[in-house]
Amino acid sequence: MASFPRTGEIAAQVKAVLERLGVSPERLSGPNAARSPLTGEVVAHWGALSGAAADLAEANPGADPTEAAIGRAHAAFLQWRSVPAPRRGELVRLLGEELRAAKVDLAALVTLEAGKIASEGAGEVQEMIDICDFATGLSRQLHGLTIVTERPDHRMMETWHPMGVVGVISAFNFPVAVWSWNAALALVCGNAVVWKPSEKTPLTALAVDAIFSRATARFGGVPEGLSTLLLGGREAGEALVDDPRVPVVSATGSTAMGRAVAPRIARRFGRAILELGGNNAAIVCPSADLDLTLRAVAFAAMGTAGQRCTSLRRLFVHESVYDALVPRLHQAYGSVPVGDPRELGTLVGPLIDENAYTAMQSALEDARAAGGLVSGGERLGAEDALDAYYVRPALVEMPFQADCVAAETFAPILYVIRYSNLDEAIGLNNAVPQGLASSIFTTDLREAERFLSATGSDCGIANVNIGPSGAEIGGAFGGEKETGGGREAGSDSWKAYMRRATNTINYGSTLPLAQGVTFEVG
């Protein structure tokens, strides 16, 4: 069993890591308190603006600072769009180098500020490095099609151009990786970026801002404001959402947030990349390898204390293997080490805050009322870390998919439901409003292919013999329905950060019109 951190020991560590990461002390003052979920204590302070945006506000007293920051980002874009893409890729390559150099400290800060266990903190920074590598290569591969035309001596082609300022709104649970998925692509595509991180994780954002500044200093000649950090709450996000100088807004967070921002962006015909809540399921078939399934389910459901958008929340187990799997799951849930995420051996760190704990308890109450058998879910370590919320992950055997199962509760709760045929299980997988990630555990080819087919999972991510969480950056990431439909990271996600122009070129001396239309004048 892991231990729990003692209140009072985190602030000094945060201060030391921020110093090593090069966050200047002026950025660490202001009216807002930054808390660590490890103990719930205040570990630093921050102001509404930071980095380039703060410098700008100082230079322009009286001007609206958010307005001015977006204005400067737009001006940066006007220059950056003309820099050749492979050269833009060089900036992102340097960012990747700086992230490699800062990996240990930034990962430690992710742990201190977001509560991830050490290996997941390191994994998050590795993901940033990976997307930088990907985007650097991409900077030489931004390409369009050449298409045959019906007209003689004509050629048709597609060209891709930068959009402008890309606004990034991010959630607390991936405090730095989400910025990098967006920023690395947006920058090589020729855009500027304004980032509004979660108000729960301002310190990691300040650290990334400092790391980016080191990359720009090495690159030389980067226009001021190319990447701007806007710290603040919902209002700062709303400023990005409503500003017509921000043609693309990539918003990651709850479905409630997406429901608020999507119509506002649509009202001005902006482009929204929405990465919202998930309610991810896995189906365990009769032929499943149960050892592998057990490990995959444990990581997907309990990892990151159930605070991943792709966390496994619903498990449909075939009746023929239910009694072989579920008791082993109970055993794993009862013994998983919960506690100080800095300690080697801890697998489950704290929830982000009290609200998360309250939401978890209320979901468990609803599950009990619907006939669920709840084990786990209790608070741990409260005598050491007074204002922190460590919980034993909860395993809930449900008689059916009740309303509380169909809602995303951002906490480690796994609902287990018995099924008897695959159609029924796929139906249950799809019978929720969200559509992010899903998995099937089977060694039967027909079942696996059925799950991946048009009549299978309706999610943006569908896996076989892998849990729904822990995606690689090479694939496009995102989901359907109330998850928002956006795609980020790999594959051709870059297209969302560019505008497509279709060009038709007449290299002849006559003017044949398409569809045989004639129009003779004179």
Residues in contact with ligand NAD by CB under 6 A are 169-174, 196, 198-199, 233-234, 237-238, 241, 252-254, 257, 260-261, 275-278, 309, 408, 410, 436, 483
Report the nearest approach of ligand NAD to the CB of residue 136 (Å).
23
Strands (E) located in 21-81? 32-35, 42-46
Output the CA torsion 230→234→235→240 (10° steps): 60
Give whichever of 190 and 468 is closer to ligand NAD, judged by the CB atom: 468
Give whichever of 309 and 395 is closer to ligand NAD, judged by the CB atom: 309
How far does Cα 130 stand from its chain's mean position? 15
53 within 8 A of 239, measured Cβ to Cβ: no
Identify the active-site residue in 120, 124, 127, 275.
275
Give whichever of 11 and 260 is closer to ligand NAD, judged by the CB atom: 260
Report the nearest approach of ligand NAD to the CB of residue 508 (Å).
49
Q: What angle do CA 83, 21, 216 make, to 5 degrees?
A: 10
Report the nearest approach of ligand NAD to the CB of residue 270 (Å).
13
Please state whether beta strands 146-147 and 154-162 pair in parallel, antiparallel, or not at all (unpaired): antiparallel
Report the nearest approach of ligand NAD to the CB of residue 27 (Å).
18
CA separation, residue 513 to residues 151, 365, 503, 507 (Å)? 7, 69, 15, 14
Token pair 């796994």 is found at 414
Our answer to whether residue 127 is catalytic in this structure is no
Give whichever of 280 and 442 is closer to ligand NAD, judged by the CB atom: 280
Report the nearest approach of ligand NAD to the CB of residue 436 (Å).
6
CA separation, residue 305 to residues 37, 155, 337, 348, 377 (Å)? 12, 55, 11, 5, 11
Give whichever of 281 and 436 is closer to ligand NAD, judged by the CB atom: 436
Give whichever of 49 and 222 is closer to ligand NAD, judged by the CB atom: 49
Please state whether beta strands 413-419 and 312-318 pair in parallel, antiparallel, or not at all (unpaired): parallel
Containing H/E element for 66? helix 65-80
Report the nearest approach of ligand NAD to the CB of residue 324 (Å).
31
Give whichever of 362 and 503 is closer to ligand NAD, judged by the CB atom: 362
Q: Which of 450, 302, 481, 254 is nearest to 315 (CA)?
A: 302
Helices 51-59 and 202-219 meet at what angle, rounded to 10? 80
For the chain, how many residues are written? 522
183 within 8 A of 227, measured Cβ to Cβ: yes
Report the nearest approach of ligand NAD to the CB of residue 240 (Å).
7
Please state whether beta strands 476-477 and 379-380 pair in parallel, antiparallel, or not at all (unpaired): unpaired
Active site members: 275
